[in-house]
Amino acid sequence: MRRTEIKTILQKEEIGAEVVVKGWVRNYRGNNFVMFVALNDGSSLQNLQIVIDIEKFDAQLLKKITVGSSLSIQGTIAKSEGKGQSIEVLASSVEVLGTANADEYPLQPKKHSLEFLREIGHLRFRSNTFGAITRIRHQMIYAIHTFFHERGFYNIHTPIITGSDCEGAGEMFQVTTLDLKKLPFTKDGNIDFSEDFFGKQTNLTVSGQLEVEMACMAMSKVYTFGPTFRAENSNTSRHLAEFWMIEPEVAFADIYDDMDLAEEFLKYLISYALTNCKEDLEFLQERLLQEEKSKPEQERSMPLIEKLQFVLANDFQRLTYTEAIEILKESKPNKKGQFKYEVKGFGTDLQSEHERYLVEKHFKKPVILTGYPKEIKAFYMKQNPDGKTVAAMDVLFPQIGEIIGGSEREADYDKLYNRMVEMNIPTEELYWYLDSRRYGTVPHAGFGLGFERLMLFVTGMGNIRDVIPFPRYPKSADF
């Protein structure tokens, strides 16, 4: 007989039907006559209650049923006599697929701290919280591809190993097959990378943008969704050394089209989560409410689902960097000296306290900031006619800050070339990037969305290390 998923059994409620279910024991209890097992197979947050008549089974077999063990159960679906669930399965055959020594198994049927679960990252999928996050993560991946597919975008696999060390987005991890104990050197004392696997120095990518722009110059609407790597020594709850990024690129589009796409995209994903991950979101919301009970009332935030609906219901506030500086300059905390960094005028780099003030206090909704000073932004961004600013846009979200960073790209060959020289970007190495402006250049724009940042917002989790299965960060590459 084929296995039926627990989710299906709970949905259909076919009383009297004969089924085979397989899964892991979350908890069990009982007495001398009857045993109740809460079984979970990952298909749903809900467990299925298995009822075992103790007299019908071998005592040695039943002893092997412990928290964490895996079972195959054949039985009939019945209306539950108990209060906690509407249906249950009365077992006619019980097979223990794998035991789990109760003395050693670290997951108990009780609340564990997220820090502890992170230490047992290989087992934390078996917790309710991480199960919910895992299901939501999958739904979001699916929704991202669906969104772009429905709008005529093509998915481009940009390289993970890159030959350029100047993608302009941070410190890179080196990739080499050279024997680190016997490095080959050139005559002038440098490491001889011509002996390396690729015959040159290579790194893990920090962004697929430059390559996806090349595809954009033929396919018009493209996106890449892949792993990116930053060797920055960032120890925060919002950064990972290995994370997944979504980078769409659209030809014949300007910065306003880019903002429209970003807002539509984020709202689509949040709306998708609300309709397709209801049960898991409700669970995470309840978890957060329990956690917040210990906090004073003013510090408590909106319940998770309400917060997601709120973002859907309101237009993102769009304003320029210059306007933001004016608002911040005139703000109470700035005048009273409550900001750690005072806002003085144009050119001030916005700190997270300033972004938070704009999003959480002043506008109380997501904000899209545009027109940043060119000095604080990347070389490829389109220079505005004012000579001071570039057509960049950052989407700022409550609690997480910058969730999206994007721009209209500089399409003019001379302007791009000169800016690269100004910023010491090696033009020979990036000849291929310049070629896109030399042959049939068109206006185009795109952005990058950190997938785990989106996950933080949708799940309401506080630490980015808890929304990716196996987080990589400084001093940590376990599992």
By the rule CB under 7 A, 248 interacts with RNA? no
Residue from 1, 16, 103, 152 in contact with RNA (CB under 7 A): 103
Distance CA 124, CA 276 (A): 23
Size of the site for RNA (CB under 7 A): 73
Residue from 102, 183, 218, 302 in contact with RNA (CB under 7 A): 102
State the minimum distance, in angstroms, from the CB of residue 186 to RNA.
30
State the minimum distance, in angstroms, from the CB of residue 445 to RNA.
14
Burial of 305 (C-beta count, 10 Å sphere; 0-12/13-18/19+): middle
Residue from 98, 106, 163, 347 in contact with RNA (CB under 7 A): 106
CA-based angle 252:162:198, to the nearest 5? 140
State the minimum distance, in angstroms, from the CB of residue 373 to RNA.
12
State the minimum distance, in angstroms, from the CB of residue 83 to RNA.
4
Residue from 2, 59, 60, 81 in contact with RNA (CB under 7 A): 81
By the rule CB under 7 A, 383 interacts with RNA? no
Task: Kindly tell me which of 191 and 356 has the beta carbon lying closer to RNA.
Answer: 356
Contact of 56 with 16, CB cutoff 8 Å: no
Q: Between residue 135 and residue 194, which ones bind RNA under the rule CB under 7 A?
A: 169-170
Beta-sheet strands, E only, within 200-299: 202-204, 221-229, 242-251
By the rule CB under 7 A, 465 interacts with RNA? yes
Residue from 11, 92, 108, 174 in contact with RNA (CB under 7 A): 108
Residue from 46, 70, 80, 301 in contact with RNA (CB under 7 A): 80
Task: Kindly tell me which of 245 and 430 has the beta carbon lying closer to RNA.
Answer: 245
By the rule CB under 7 A, 448 interacts with RNA? yes
By the rule CB under 7 A, 30 interacts with RNA? yes
Distance CA 359, CA 382 (A): 26
CA-based angle 443:372:350, to the nearest 5? 150
Q: Which residues pair with 224 in a beta bridge?
A: 247
Task: Kindly tell me which of 192 and 342 has the beta carbon lying closer to RNA.
Answer: 342
State the minimum distance, in angstroms, from the CB of residue 291 to RNA.
11
By the rule CB under 7 A, 475 interacts with RNA? yes
State the minimum distance, in angstroms, from the CB of residue 71 to RNA.
16
Task: Kindly tell me which of 51 and 77 has the beta carbon lying closer to RNA.
Answer: 51
Residue from 60, 177, 190, 236 in contact with RNA (CB under 7 A): 236
Phi-psi region for residue 241, left (φ > 0), alpha (ψ -120 to 50) or beta? alpha
By the rule CB under 7 A, 463 interacts with RNA? yes
Distance CA 389, CA 11 (A): 56
Task: Kindly tell me which of 186 and 370 has the beta carbon lying closer to RNA.
Answer: 370
Cα–Cα distance list, 377 to 94, 314, 443 (Å): 63, 28, 19
Enumerate residues 6+ apart whose C-beta is below 8 A from 408: 253, 254, 255, 258, 381, 382, 391, 443, 444, 445
Beta-sheet strands, E only, within 80-220: 87-98, 154-155, 161-162, 174-175, 202-204
Distance CA 295, CA 290 (A): 10
x/- mask, RNA, residues 392-421, rule CB under 7 A, reads: ---------xxxxx----------------
Q: Between residue 277 and residue 336, which ones bind RNA under the rule CB under 7 A?
A: none
By the rule CB under 7 A, 435 interacts with RNA? no
Task: Kindly tell me which of 178 and 400 has the beta carbon lying closer to RNA.
Answer: 400
By the rule CB under 7 A, 464 interacts with RNA? yes
Enumerate residues 6+ apart whose C-beta is below 8 A from 235: 473, 474
Task: Kindly tell me which of 175 and 241 has the beta carbon lying closer to RNA.
Answer: 241
Sheet arrangement for strand 202-204: 161-162, 202-204, 174-175
Enumerate residues 6+ apart whose C-beta is below 8 A from 229: 172, 173, 204, 205, 206, 241, 242
Q: Between residue 199 and residue 228, which ones bind RNA under the rule CB under 7 A?
A: 207
By the rule CB under 7 A, 361 interacts with RNA? no
